Structure 1
Amino acid sequence: MNASRIRAITVTASLASALLVAGCSSSGSGDSGESTTQAAPMAESDLEGAYQQVIEDVLPSVVQIDASDSLGSGVVYDDKGHVVTNAHVVGKEQTFKVTTATGEQALTAKLVASYPEQDLAVIKLDNPPSGLKAAKFGDSTKAEVGQIVLAMGSPLGLSSSVTQGIVSATGRTVSEPRTEGAPGATIANMLQTSAAINPGNSGGALVNLDGQVIGIPTLAATDPQMGDSAAPGIGFAIPSSMVKTIADQIIKDGRVTDSGRAALGITGRTVLGDNYRPAGVAIVDAQKDGGAAKAGLEDGDIITKLGNSDITTITSLSEALAGEKPGDKTQVTYVRDGSEKTAEVTLGEM
């Protein structure tokens, strides 16, 4: 049986429980209370109808992707057969079987390009069926905490599944775990959602009640205190604004030509201090034309701070850079031969 893929991150902070109680105000008269009681079922019916309409509109655009030894999800991007998904769903495969929401015979598809740095990829159906319906992608910058969303995909291989929740937070910077064949991308501005995201949901659709895709579900959090089991109600989706930026470039040029992601222009590794704890990032290779080298940093220097962010690991450096833009100038603190130094670095592009 094929295994389903989804990324998981570890949540180390303790989570506080909260009880939310909803109610309504009234004048205290019996008539007023009766009127309120009668109105509630109507509101519930309206919301249920909205859910069903969104599912009817969007679910036909969400597909299941069989990448040899794993299953994931994807979203039809245009009527030419392009499907956007996560890079970790396609892995190292070049060809795929794609099943649409109608459950008809699987279609064949090929990889257009993968961009692991943002955990996004585009594949293309070899023979797009007539009537193929592309999803509508919305503006994720307008997503608000508390907004109702639906997650659509194929969790555990159960195609065309839908879960419901809210946008729990915006602007999250999240680092994926490093695994064989996956660099462990650090992704900025992710949407956090309470909609259940399970193995196989990766690459699917996070949809608002206007029927617009505002994110691609990618990560589920795990809690080490529970044996690394899933932390309920904590999932993350790549914002649609980034999805569109990357997918449009891949479809047009076959690769990402403008990532919009800042870089120092180095290859580095985490180093340990005297207490055997991570203490910085040692520069293994400062690229000749990179921002770090131009600012005077050399191989062997140990970066300990970027701007106001302390740097102890490669992951912390990636997360600090995720908040910057190419062309920004930032101060880098580093150690050379036991002495602490600083340099102003003009950041390049990844």
Structure 2
Amino acid sequence: MYDSDNQYSNFNNFPYDSSARKAEDPYNTVSDRNAGNVAGAPEEPKKGSGFAKKLGTAAACALVFGAVAGVTMGMVSRAVAPKSSVASAESSAAAEVMPNLTKTATKEAAAGSTAGSSEGATLDVSAIVEKAMPSVVAIDVKGEQQVSDFFGRTASYETSGAGSGIIIGENEEEYLIVTNNHVIENTTSMKVQFIDGKSVDAELKGTDSGADVAVIAVKKSDVADETKSKIAIAEIGDSNELKVGQGVIAIGNALGYGQSVTVGYLSAKDRTITAQDGSTGQETKVENLLQTDAAINPGNSGGALLNMQGQVIGINESKSVDTKVEGMGYAIPISSVTELINQLSSQKTRGTVAEADRGYIGFRGQNVDNEAAQKFNMPVGIFVYKIIDGGAAAESELQENDIITKFEGQSVSSIEDLKEKLTRYKKGETVTLTVKRPSNKGYEEKEIQLTLKGQDSMKNATAESESKDGQDSRDSGSERRNSRGDSGNRSDSNSGDNSNEDGSLFPFQW
């Protein structure tokens, strides 16, 4: 129970010694007698001296017994007492001897504990939020959606939405803001609200639907000097250095109520999810995502996911919504899209072009989503079913059976993506399409340039094309009827397959 050098662990080290006590005994009769002998002869003992000797001996024994009992009981008491009590007593004694040193050490330990708590994102992150909040903005968007009723009549109505963004840079004329593509797609106008609540109009720089990343811009001339003094460019971190279990902070315009903060941990890396486009219903597989239990709600999309140094390490993307799911949010690792963000930031800033001035390509196409791509071993993109005579595509190297994968260097995965981008381009502008073309080796990538044509020319080209298609369809129908007459009844499925060849399954035309 005690160390070997403890004075109470060895009876030989008790604070008394019988031999020493005996030498100092005042009842040492030999010594006393010698001291009182004048002639040197032995002195006759006085009356009662035997009783006095016995009494002295008894008193000495009692004294020795009392000392032994006291030390023994002290040892037993110390052995039975809890270690914490002993340690407390020793600590108190040490504190009395060195009070200043003890207090200093306590303060240092407390400071270390606080720092550890902040790094773990378990307590106070206000300093980190105060540093990062000026670089996060709220984005309010408006769009227009068309719907058709049972009788084929169409009507359009205005839509609105909210999201978040991160100020990632600036040039001489603009502040550059990164967000998600799904936040700003199919919009007619955008407004950015800064930390002080002031809002200004924003325009598109570039988007990439495949990566779900977009860059928008705000003119510096539209931003008040007071607001400029309050905003900041975000500090970008390295998402490749992240470790699962590290603390993270999400900031964004949750539910459109304004900026809010949630805290959690990095739950996993390299996650793959299947996301559904709210406007088209098309499912898209998104890979290489960060998973976190920090709450990410509608409106948080495009906002910042921060590390404990206040650096942006992710762009908030989405969350899993299900009654069986709790705390599964996702973000795009910032390091995986840094090059793309730089590319989009260098694009020309474009606003929405009036419909009469918009440019068109002139083809009929069909979406190739992930499911179709896997089933038919095709690239994801827009399958060019037919080139319209008189359109811009007819005067370019674009061919039928090409699959369009990029427009002006920006990924497109659907007709809707391409349509949204074309709303910002005027007729007469020259654009570049990236296509995958079938070959003996599979698909080869090619870049094709074409000059967009206006709506009027598209209408004329469409009318001529539809007239020609109608004649071809009638001729094809006549041949099918003759064929059925010659060889007997064919299956309805064959007839249906042939009817698809007139383009009825490919309604998109741009």
Give the TM-score, by structure 1 length. 0.62
The structure whose residues are more often strand, as a share, is 1
User: Which 5+ residue runs of structure 1 have no aligned equivalent?
Assistant: 1-27, 256-265, 272-278, 298-350
For residue 60 of structure 1, what is the amino acid of its counterpart?
Answer: P
The answer (yes or no) to whether the contact 1:94–1:110 under 8 Å persists in 2 is no
1:47 to 86, 92, 117: 117
1:117 to 210, 220, 237: 210
The answer (yes or no) to whether the contact 2:191–2:202 under 8 Å persists in 1 is yes
1:60 to 134, 137, 150: 134
Equivalents in 2 of 1:33, 1:71: separation in Å?
Answer: 60
Name the structure 2 match of 1:309.
none
What secondary structure sits across from 1:241 in the alignment?
A: helix
What secondary structure sits across from 2:439 in the alignment?
A: helix
Matched-pair identity in %: 33
Equivalents in 1 of 2:181, 2:86: separation in Å?
Answer: 55
Structure 2 residue 386 is matched with structure 1 residue 295: no
Aligned-residue offset at 1:116: 1.2
Structure 2 residue 346 is matched with structure 1 residue 200: no
Structure 2 residue 226 is matched with structure 1 residue 133: no
For residue 212 of structure 2, what is the amino acid of its counterpart?
Answer: D
Name the structure 2 match of 1:209.
308
For residue 84 of structure 2, what is the amino acid of its counterpart?
Answer: G
Point out the more displaced range, 281-290 or 143-152.
Answer: 281-290
Structure 2 residue 187 is matched with structure 1 residue 93: yes
Per-residue displacement from partner, 1:303-329 (whole Å, max 9, x unpaired)?
A: xxxxxxxxxxxxxxxxxxxxxxxxxxx
1:70 to 161, 170, 173: 161
The answer (yes or no) to whether the contact 1:82–1:124 under 8 Å persists in 2 is yes
What secondary structure sits across from 1:133 in the alignment?
A: coil
Aligned-residue offset at 1:267: 3.9
Structure 2 residue 175 is matched with structure 1 residue 81: yes
Per-residue displacement from partner, 1:249-300 (whole Å, max 9, x unpaired)?
A: 0111349xxxxxxxxxx946747xxxxxxx9346577648747634258xxx
The structure whose residues are more often helix, as a share, is 2
What secondary structure sits across from 1:222 in the alignment?
A: coil
What secondary structure sits across from 2:261 in the alignment?
A: strand
Change (3 A) 1:89 1:182: farther
Point out the more displaced range, 168-177 or 194-203.
Answer: 168-177
The answer (yes or no) to whether the contact 1:76–1:82 under 8 Å persists in 2 is yes
The answer (yes or no) to whether the contact 1:140–1:241 under 8 Å persists in 2 is yes
Aligned-residue offset at 1:242: 2.7
The answer (yes or no) to whether the contact 2:203–2:218 under 8 Å persists in 1 is yes
The answer (yes or no) to whether the contact 2:284–2:369 under 8 Å persists in 1 is no
What secondary structure sits across from 1:137 in the alignment?
A: coil
Per-residue displacement from partner, 1:55-114 (whole Å, max 9, x unpaired)?
A: 0110111111000200111111113411100111112124311111222x2111111122
Equivalents in 2 of 1:235, 1:32: separation in Å?
Answer: 51
Equivalents in 1 of 2:335, 2:114: separation in Å?
Answer: 31
Name the structure 2 match of 1:336.
none
Number of aligned pairs?
248
Equivalents in 2 of 1:186, 1:148: separation in Å?
Answer: 27
Structure 2 residue 340 is matched with structure 1 residue 246: yes
Equivalents in 2 of 1:172, 1:89: separation in Å?
Answer: 21
Name the structure 2 match of 1:30.
84
1:236 to 325, 330, 333: 330
Name the structure 2 match of 1:173.
272
1:280 to 364, 367, 375: 375
User: Which 5+ residue runs of structure 2 have no aligned equivalent?
Assistant: 1-81, 92-105, 143-159, 350-366, 385-400, 404-434, 444-510
Q: Which structure has more RCO (C-alpha within 8 Å, separation ≥ 6)?
A: 1
Equivalents in 1 of 2:208, 2:305: separation in Å?
Answer: 20
For residue 232 of structure 1, what is the amino acid of its counterpart?
Answer: E
